[in-house]
């Protein structure tokens, strides 16, 4: 009987992990690449720091030949997540699945790590609830499905915290802690909040640790692992007069290399940023779950502070929550930063739920009835968040109203994935054949057009999406993709058909957006569509017929016109 109960007990977290994995991997390739994930994936593919933009330039555009030091990091972020994506591409090819695999795995194992942390610090039931809450949150699944830096950062933050807890019991674990801390710092600078949080915890409760030889070695190890980024910034400052983009923004340095990055002349608005956190999370968490987490977290934070001397376990999570909140209040609240709060929110909320039960319900004579009501209410909240999650991240067509039945941040399948399938059907085959060492390696010369297919695309398409779906072909695979706007600038008053025919090009395509979902912000306005429509008419008048590309919802996404030049 006891063995059976134990099996059931430990089956629960396994079920949580499986559900979390299904919620993440089930919708992994549903949505198009459409935001910063495009810039990360494009660069990770060839491990090349190049944005293909004059508004955010990189060492490839600054130097005739890129110096060796510039390959130690990237101009806007540390290199670890780029490296992980690069390995994924090497293993699985240049696919959407490969680009999102590191984030997806990080998301699943973050749920596992949170369970281990909560079980170590509290007990099984708190750990099970905390991991279930994180695993079912729509924002966690969503962040884990897109190639942002935060999922890997959260995983390494949790790994670092877990090793920190282990090291407080057995000093040899400080070495693992140091290595994990160094790797965490290699994901992005916003993870720095864990350093003051853990340092204050040690100052309050474990001051002798600062003189422990294993701890000292761990700090040296962390610095050594992070040192390539330090060296990179030193060399960048010597060469360009500023550090990398993130540090330049923080220190208000010269940004002439990044004219697309605006200066914040208004200063830091702490109160506005704090209120924005609540607004952001309200947009990505179902209402019942949002209200429950807000109440339990506020209660748990207050009790953790009041009982900080006798309840050291809670205070470590309170410090982590406090410092990540301060970080967001200073740097600005956006959903991807707010996501860093959630592991600590669900741990504190889980502890708070059982604390409330023990204080106010467990000793009451009618506790059985109240317990059943509480469990049913908790179950209803989790089930509704599960529905909200599935609606946000898995279903091709969501049910109900945006913001109520599914997240405001649901990403759609606009049709770029289907467009890429069409391009492959036209004979394109991706293989990195172009190794880029200088800016000239990214450019086409007229004498390289013989036998080429020429792809001209609508200048109004989502810029981020074009970076992944078009620029990767041109930069890495030497296929000729160009925006119609760029072509007009390069070849004004020129008959394109005659020009490309004379250069020996085989075929010319025009990729025209046919659905507002595939356009960039503001580009659906009629004035911005005029030039694209005029070019479409030129192809039609030349006898081209459109191949229609539909997205996963069977909505028309693109019209692709094709003219054979050598007939």
**Tens-place pLDDT, residues 511-526:** 999 999 999 877 666 6
Pairing of strands 507-513, 480-483: unpaired
Measured distance CA(459)–CA(523) in Å, rounded = 9
pLDDT band at 1 (very low <50, low <70, confident <90, very high): very low
Instruction: State the pLDDT at residue 524.
Output: 62
**Cα–Cα distances in Å, from 3 out to 6, 7, 8, 120, 183?**
5, 6, 9, 22, 40
What three-state secondary structure class fits 556? strand
List the helix and strand counts (H, then E) for the chain.
24, 5
Segment 455-465, tens digit of pLDDT: 999 999 999 99
Instruction: State the pLDDT at residue 224.
Output: 98
| Residue 427 exposed, middle or buried by CB count within 10 Å (0-12, 13-18, 19+) | exposed
Residue among 95, 84, 137 nearest 286 (CA): 137
Q: Decide which of 461 and 435 is more confident.
A: 461
Phi and psi torsions of 556, nearest 5°: -65, 125
Helix (H) or strand (E) holding 141: helix 138-145
Instruction: State the pLDDT at residue 525.
Output: 63
- pLDDT above 90 as % of the chain: 79
* Helices 194-205 + 150-169 axis angle, to 10: 20
* pLDDT score of 27 more than 70: yes
* pLDDT, mean over the chain: 93
pLDDT band at 295 (very low <50, low <70, confident <90, very high): very high
Q: What mean pLDDT comes out for the span 475-504?
A: 91
Segment 193-234, tens digit of pLDDT: 999 999 999 999 999 999 999 999 999 999 999 999 999 999
Measured distance CA(5)–CA(372) in Å, rounded = 20
Q: What mean pLDDT comes out for the span 258-267?
A: 71
Q: Do residues 321 and 344 lie in contact, with contact meaning Cβ atoms separated by under 8 Å?
A: yes
Segment 331-381, tens digit of pLDDT: 888 999 999 999 999 999 999 999 999 998 888 888 888 889 999 999 999
Per-residue tokens: 165: 């807890």
* pLDDT score of 385 more than 70: yes
* Helices 96-121 + 80-92 axis angle, to 10: 120
**Cα–Cα distances in Å, from 171 out to 118, 208, 530?**
20, 12, 68
Segment 118-155, tens digit of pLDDT: 999 999 999 999 999 999 999 999 999 999 999 999 99
* pLDDT score of 402 more than 50: yes
- Lookup result for tokens 């054979």: 564
Residue 43 neighbours by CB under 8 Å, 6+ apart: 49, 50, 51, 74, 82
Segment 159-182, tens digit of pLDDT: 999 999 999 999 999 999 999 999
Per-residue tokens: 566: 């050598």
Angle CA 315–316–319, to nearest 5 = 85
- Identify the sign of the CA torsion 527, 528, 531, 535: negative
Residue environment code for 219-245, b if the CB has 16+ CB neighbours within 10 A, otherwise e:
eebbeebbebbeebbebbeeebebbbb
Measured distance CA(48)–CA(28) in Å, rounded = 24
Eight-state DSSP code of residue 566: -
Full 3-state SS string of 345-404: HHHHHHHHHHHHHHHHCCCCCCHHHHHHHHHHHHHHHHHHHHHHHHHHHCCCCCCCCECC
């Amino acid at each position: 009987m006891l063995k059976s109960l134990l099996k059931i007990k430990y089956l629960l977290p396994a079920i949580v992990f499986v559900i979390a994995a299904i919620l993440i991997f089930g919708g992994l390739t549903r949505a198009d690449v459409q935001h910063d994930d495009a810039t990360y994936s494009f660069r990770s593919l060839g491990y090349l720091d190049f944005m293909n933009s004059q508004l955010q330039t990189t060492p490839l555009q600054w130097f005739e030949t890129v110096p060796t030091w510039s390959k130690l990091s990237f101009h806007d972020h540390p290199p670890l997540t780029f490296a992980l994506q690069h390995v994924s591409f090497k293993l699985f090819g240049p696919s959407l699945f490969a680009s999102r695999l590191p984030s997806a795995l990080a998301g699943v194992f973050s749920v596992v790590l949170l369970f281990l942390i909560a079980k170590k610090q509290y007990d099984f039931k708190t750990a099970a609830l905390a991991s279930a809450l994180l695993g079912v949150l729509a924002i966690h699944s969503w962040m884990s499905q897109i190639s942002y830096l935060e999922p890997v950062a959260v995983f390494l933050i949790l790994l670092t915290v877990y090793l920190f807890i282990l090291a407080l019991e057995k000093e040899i674990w400080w070495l693992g802690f140091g290595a994990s801390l160094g790797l965490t710092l290699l994901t992005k600078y916003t993870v720095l909040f864990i350093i003051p949080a853990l340092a204050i915890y040690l100052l309050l409760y474990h001051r002798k640790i600062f003189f422990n030889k294993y701890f000292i070695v761990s700090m040296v190890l962390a610095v050594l692992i992070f040192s390539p980024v330090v060296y990179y910034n030193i060399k960048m400052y010597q060469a360009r007069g500023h550090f990398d983009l993130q540090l330049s923004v923080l220190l208000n340095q010269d940004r002439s290399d990044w004219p697309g990055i605006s200066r914040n002349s208004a200063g830091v608005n702490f109160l506005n940023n704090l209120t924005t956190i609540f607004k952001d999370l309200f947009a990505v968490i179902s209402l019942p779950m949002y209200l429950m987490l807000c109440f339990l977290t506020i209660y748990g934070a207050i009790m953790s502070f009041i009982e900080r001397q006798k309840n050291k376990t809670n205070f470590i999570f309170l410090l982590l929550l406090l410092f990540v909140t301060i970080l967001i209040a200073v740097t600005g609240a956006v959903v991807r930063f707010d996501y860093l709060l959630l592991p600590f929110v669900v741990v504190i909320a889980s502890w708070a739920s059982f604390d409330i039960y023990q204080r106010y319900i467990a000793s009451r004579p009618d506790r059985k009835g109240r317990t059943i009501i509480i469990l049913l209410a908790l179950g209803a909240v989790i089930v509704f968040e599960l529905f909200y999650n599935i609606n946000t991240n898995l279903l091709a067509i969501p049910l109900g109203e945006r913001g109520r039945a599914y997240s405001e941040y649901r990403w759609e399948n606009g049709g770029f994935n289907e467009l890429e399938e069409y391009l492959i059907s036209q004979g394109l085959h991706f293989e990195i054949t172009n190794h880029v060492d200088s800016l000239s390696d990214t450019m086409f010369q007229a004498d390289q057009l013989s036998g080429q297919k020429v792809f001209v695309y609508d200048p109004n398409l989502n810029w981020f999406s074009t970076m992944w779906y078009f620029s990767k072909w041109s930069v890495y695979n030497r296929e000729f993709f160009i925006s119609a706007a760029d072509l007009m600038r390069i070849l004004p008053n020129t008959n394109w058909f005659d020009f490309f025919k004379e250069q020996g090009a085989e075929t010319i395509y025009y990729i025209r957006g046919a659905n507002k979902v595939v356009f960039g912000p503001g580009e659906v306005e009629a004035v911005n569509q005029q030039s694209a429509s005029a070019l479409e008419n030129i192809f039609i008048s030349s006898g081209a017929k459109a191949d229609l590309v539909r997205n996963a919802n069977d909505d028309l996404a693109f019209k692709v016109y094709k003219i054979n030049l050598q007939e």
